[in-house]
Amino acid sequence: MKLETTRISIVALTKNQLENYLIADNILENELGLTIIPIPRTINDRVKNAITTKLLPAINESPKDNLLYTFWTIIDKAQNCMIGDLCFKGPPNDDGEIEIGYGTYPAFQGKGYMKEAVNQMALWAFQQENVKSIIAKTDPSNIASQRILENNNFLNLGQEGEYITWKLNND
């Protein structure tokens, strides 16, 4: 599955591609025919843990929902390279809510890519069965992430615990 804007493509990774993503030795970039950027892609422990303990087991258990469990990689069309990732954290709950997470690689931050990608993912999500709203959580110190959500019309619901919760309704 692929979503497109003028500047970016957003590609849903298959189970095997998600496993290759974890290897972080350019195997995924080579498989996707992408340019390897000089600053290698790194995966922090939190993301690695989420993929191995939540996303991959969920894809194995419910392959039909894989688009709601996998990473979607963001590709800059002009440079033909990976610039960030997004994911949903599973199918909608009983209230029709799904949660989105995202990250831009450091060399590509501050250029509006993630605003564009979150917008496209929201448009796609609201076309899926039973999705009524999208939830996002940000660290209170992550102003850039908060701006992405504000610029995509997410409503700030306030801080719950250590995170600020945001919501976008399908109006």
Delineate the domains of the chain, giving CATH numbers in brackets: 2-169 (3.40.630.30)
Per-residue pLDDT averaged across 147-171, rounded? 94
CB 91 within 8 A of CB 55: no
Q: Give the bridge partners for 166, in sequence order.
A: 136, 156
From the list 124, 20, 116, 23, the residue with the least C-alpha distance to 68 is 124
Q: Each residue of 62-115: pLDDT tens digit?
A: 777 778 888 899 999 999 999 999 999 888 999 999 999 999 988 899 999 999
Confidence at residue 147, expressed as pLDDT on a 0 to 100 scale: 96
Q: Each residue of 116-129: pLDDT tens digit?
A: 999 999 999 999 98
Q: What is the value of pTM for the model shown?
A: 0.90
d(CA 18, CA 158): 33
Confidence at residue 85, expressed as pLDDT on a 0 to 100 scale: 93
CB 87 within 8 A of CB 74: no
- The pair of three-digit structure tokens given for residue 134, joined into one six-digit string: 């999208």
Q: Each residue of 12-67: pLDDT tens digit?
A: 998 888 888 888 788 888 999 988 877 777 788 888 888 888 888 888 887 777 78
Distances (CA, A) of 89 to 51, 66, 99: 10, 10, 6
CA 8 to chain centre: 13
Per-residue pLDDT averaged across 152-164, rounded? 94
Task: Give the angle 48-165-110 at the CA atoms, nearest 5°.
Answer: 65
Q: Each residue of 127-157: pLDDT tens digit?
A: 998 999 999 999 999 999 999 999 999 999 9
3-state secondary structure the chain: CEEECCCEEEEECCHHHHHHHHHCCCHHHHHCCCCCCCCCCCCCHHHHHHHHHHHHHHHHHCHHHHHHCCEEEEEECCCCEEEEEEEECCCCCCCCEEEEEEEECHHHCCCCHHHHHHHHHHHHHCCCCCCCEEEEEECCCCHHHHHHHHHCCCEEEEEECCEEEEEEECC
